[in-house]
Amino acid sequence: MVVQRGLLRGLDRLNATTTVLQRARMADPLAGMWDAADVQWWWRRPLPSDELAMPVWFDEEGPVAAAGLTAWDTAWQVDVFAVPSAVKEEDAWGATLEAVAGEADAELEVLAHDDDAATIEVVTRLGFSMTDELSGTSWMDASDRPPVGRVEGFTIVDRRTRADRPHPMVARNGEAVEPRLRQCSLYDPGLDLAVEDANGDVAGYALFWFDHTTRVGLLEPMRVEDRFQRRGLGRLLLADGLDRLARKGAQRLKVGFESDAARNLYLGAGFVQTSVDRRLVRPPAGR
């Protein structure tokens, strides 16, 4: 197999990365940290990293590996996305960090499954150190999803029926959130949910993603506003969204979590934790 390397930026890089992650998921149903919908969710607001030219590797069928760089507020997340065995992992990481050099005057971070010894070994040699910051990934067969319920006084709506109102994620993600989401190939307004009270006030929201290629359904993000907590609205949103994913054809469902509360919600609904995920960091150059 002949693999060639090029440079892409912006939506072209996002679309190429989407293809890489779809091919990787088709090659191995559970391997890897991320799915295509994860990186599309990261596109939700403009970031300084969007237009940086980053390496993408191509075989005769199309994109087979891609460097990822996502400039979060406190650190720049670095990733290598690849179809298994398509590129040498250490070479891909080296090329990725070479492209980052001189661009990011910030701490770099990598997230990896705690049992992914190969990736942890590579990035450790490249200057990253393991932290005690842990999160998790969980999966569920769509046939095991919880039943859809009701909470008196609250209604689930989606962006098909509420497109005339401000998007509920504007406050935390900026005015560009909906236009940016609509640039993503996997975004579906019928899976962009909110729960409203009897007055039409938004009590919470959740965004579900269906990948027609891999048949994976992903939840990212979900939030219930503070004054509406402890009323079962998280379970209501979760069950409704998972049911919509299954009816669209999703066969497997995925969600990640960072807090014990989120872990308890998802595992209580039938998800099974498949990994502990660890954050590794590298300080800015010269520090």
Residue whose C-alpha is closest to residue 192's, from 165, 160, 164, 229: 160
Calculate mean pLDDT across residues 21-46: 95
- The secondary structure of 212-225 as a DSSP string is TTTTEEEEEEEEE-
Beta bridge partners of 76: 71, 108
286, pLDDT greater than 60: no
Beta bridge partners of 196: 155, 202
pLDDT in tens, 225-253: 999 999 999 999 999 999 999 999 999 99
What is the distance between the alpha carbons of residues 204 and 226, in angstroms, rounded to a whole number?
Answer: 9
CATH of region 140-275, choose from 3.50.40.10, 3.40.630.30, 3.30.420.40, 3.40.470.10: 3.40.630.30
Q: Please report, rounded to a whole number, the percentage of residues in the chain having pLDDT higher than 70.
A: 99
Phi, psi of 278 (to 5 degrees): -120, 145
Q: Which CATH superfamily is domain 4-136+277-282 in?
A: Gcn5-related N-acetyltransferase (GNAT) (3.40.630.30)
Cα gap 253→245, rounded to integer Å: 8
**Comparing 206 with 103, which gets the higher pLDDT?**
206
What is the model's pLDDT at position 287? 56
**Average pLDDT over every residue of 147-158:** 97
Start and end residues for every CATH 3.40.630.30 domain found in the chain:
4-136+277-282, 140-275
The helix-helix angle for 233-248 and 260-268 (nearest 10°) equals 50
Task: Calculate what percentage of the chain has a pLDDT beyond 90.
Answer: 94
The least confident of 26-30, 135-139, 196-200 is 26-30
Chain segment 196-220, per-residue pLDDT in tens: 999 999 999 999 999 999 999 999 9
Q: Looking up tokens 């938004």, which residue turns up?
A: 202
Structure tokens at 22: 């779809």
Q: What are phi and psi of 156, to 5 degrees?
A: -85, 130
Give the CA radius of gyration of the chain. Answer: 19
Cβ neighbours of residue 14 under 8 Å, at least 6 residues apart?
39, 40, 43, 184
195: nearest Cα among 184, 204, 208? 204
Q: Considering Cα of 3, then 118, then 253, then 56, what sign does the dihedral take?
A: negative
Write out pLDDT tens, residues 257-285. Answer: 999 999 999 999 999 999 999 999 999 87
